[in-house]
Structure 1
Amino acid sequence: MDRFFKLKENGTNIRTEIMAGITTFMAMAYILAVNPNVLTAFRSGATGGDWNQVFLATAIAAGVMTIIMGLLVNFPVALAPGMGLNAYFAAVILGSQGKFTFEMALTAVFISGIIFLLLTVTKVRQLMIVAVPDALKHAITVGIGLFIALLGIKNSGLLTIAVETNNDIAAHAHTKLKYFETIFSLGSLHDPEVQTVIFGLILIAVLMVLHVRGAILYGILGSTIFAICVGLVDFNSLSASGTQWVPDFRQIRFADFDFPGIMSTGIITVILTFTFVELFDTFGTMVGTANRAGIMKNKQEGTKRVGKAMLVDAIGVSGGALLGTSTVTAFVESTAGIAQGGRTGLTAVTTGVCFLLSLFLAPVVFLIPGAATSAALIVVGVLMMQSIREIDFSDMVIAIPAFLTIVLMPFTFSIANGISFGIVTYVVLATVGRASGKSEHKVHWLMWVLAILVLARYLLIGAE
Structure 2
Amino acid sequence: MDRFFKLKQNGTNVRTEILAGITTFMTMAYILAVNPDVLTAFGKTGMEWYPVFLATALAAGIFTIAMGFFVNFPVALAPGMGLNAYFATVIISSNGTITWQMALTAVFISGIIFILLTITRVRQMLLVAVPDSLKHAITVGIGLFITIVGLKNSGLMSIAVETVGDVPAGTFTPLLSFESVIQMGSLHNPDVQLVLVGLFLISLLMVMKVKGSILYGILGTTLVAILMGHVDLTNISSSQTPWIPDFTALEFGAFDFAGILNVGIVSVILTFTFVEMFDTFGTLVGTANRAGLMKDKEQGRKRVGKAMLVDAFAVSGGAMLGTSTTTAFVESSSGIAMGGRTGLTAIATGVCFLLALFLAPVIALIPGSATAAALIIVGLLMIQSIREIDFHDMVVAIPAFLTIVLMPLTYSIANGISFGIVAFVLLALVAQLMGNKEHKIHWLMWILAVLIILRYALLGGE
Residue pair 2:149, 2:375 contacting (<8 A) in 1 also: yes
CA distance in 1: counterparts of 2:456 and 2:348, whole angstroms:
39
Written as runs of structure 1 = structure 2, the 5 A alignment for 1:158-307 is 158-164=156-162, 169=169, 177-178=175-176, 181-239=179-237, 242-252=240-250, 254-255=252-253, 261=258, 266-267=261-262, 269-270=264-265, 272-290=266-284, 293=287, 295=289, 307=305
Q: 1:441 offset after TM fit, Å?
A: 1.0
Q: 1:443 offset after TM fit, Å?
A: 0.9
Relative distance call for 1:294 and 1:370 in structure 2 (3 A) is farther
* RMSD between aligned residues: 4.0
Residue pair 1:313, 1:328 contacting (<8 A) in 2 also: no
Relative distance call for 1:63 and 1:457 in structure 2 (3 A) is farther
Which digits, 9 at most, give the CA deviation of each residue in 1:422-441, with x for residues without a partner? 21111111111012113521
Farther-moved stretch of structure 1 (157-166 vs 450-459): 157-166
Residue pair 1:86, 1:326 contacting (<8 A) in 2 also: no
Which digits, 9 at most, give the CA deviation of each residue in 1:174-226, with x for residues without a partner? 76533764322112222222222222322333333334444333323322222
Q: 1:278 offset after TM fit, Å?
A: 0.7
**Partner residue of 1:414?**
412
Relative distance call for 1:379 and 1:178 in structure 2 (3 A) is same
Instruction: Specify the SS of the correspondent of 1:135.
Output: helix
Q: 1:107 offset after TM fit, Å?
A: 5.3
**Partner residue of 2:433?**
435
Residue pair 1:126, 1:303 contacting (<8 A) in 2 also: no
CA distance in 1: counterparts of 2:404 and 2:231, whole angstroms:
35
Relative distance call for 1:70 and 1:39 in structure 2 (3 A) is farther
Relative distance call for 1:30 and 1:216 in structure 2 (3 A) is closer
**Partner residue of 2:131?**
133
Written as runs of structure 1 = structure 2, the 5 A alignment for 1:303-318 is 307-318=305-316
Give aligned-pair identity as a percent.
52
Relative distance call for 1:150 and 1:287 in structure 2 (3 A) is farther
Q: Paired residue for 1:329, among 326, 331, 345?
A: 326
Q: 1:160 offset after TM fit, Å?
A: 1.9
Q: State TM-score, norm by structure 1.
A: 0.79
Tell me if 1:31 matches 2:20.
Answer: no
Q: Paired residue for 2:376, among 375, 378, 382?
A: 378
CA distance in 2: counterparts of 1:4 and 1:194, whole angstroms:
50
Q: 1:24 offset after TM fit, Å?
A: 1.0
Relative distance call for 1:245 and 1:408 in structure 2 (3 A) is same
Which digits, 9 at most, give the CA deviation of each residue in 1:255-304, with x for residues without a partner? 46676x56xx843723x234211112202422454576474895957765
Q: 1:17 offset after TM fit, Å?
A: 4.4
**Partner residue of 1:87?**
88
CA distance in 1: counterparts of 2:334 and 2:397, whole angstroms:
26
Residue pair 1:138, 1:388 contacting (<8 A) in 2 also: yes
Relative distance call for 1:321 and 1:141 in structure 2 (3 A) is closer
CA distance in 1: counterparts of 2:197 and 2:10, whole angstroms:
34
Q: 1:16 offset after TM fit, Å?
A: 4.8
Instruction: Specify the SS of the correspondent of 1:83.
Output: helix
CA distance in 2: counterparts of 1:89 and 1:213, whole angstroms:
34
Count of residue pairs the alignment pairs up:
444
Instruction: Specify the SS of the correspondent of 2:191.
Output: helix
CA distance in 2: counterparts of 1:377 and 1:92, whole angstroms:
20
For 1:232, the aligned partner's letter is H
Residue pair 1:392, 1:398 contacting (<8 A) in 2 also: yes
Structure 2 spans left out of the alignment, 5+ residues: none
For 2:96, the aligned partner's letter is G
For 1:19, the aligned partner's letter is T
CA distance in 2: counterparts of 1:336 and 1:420, whole angstroms:
28
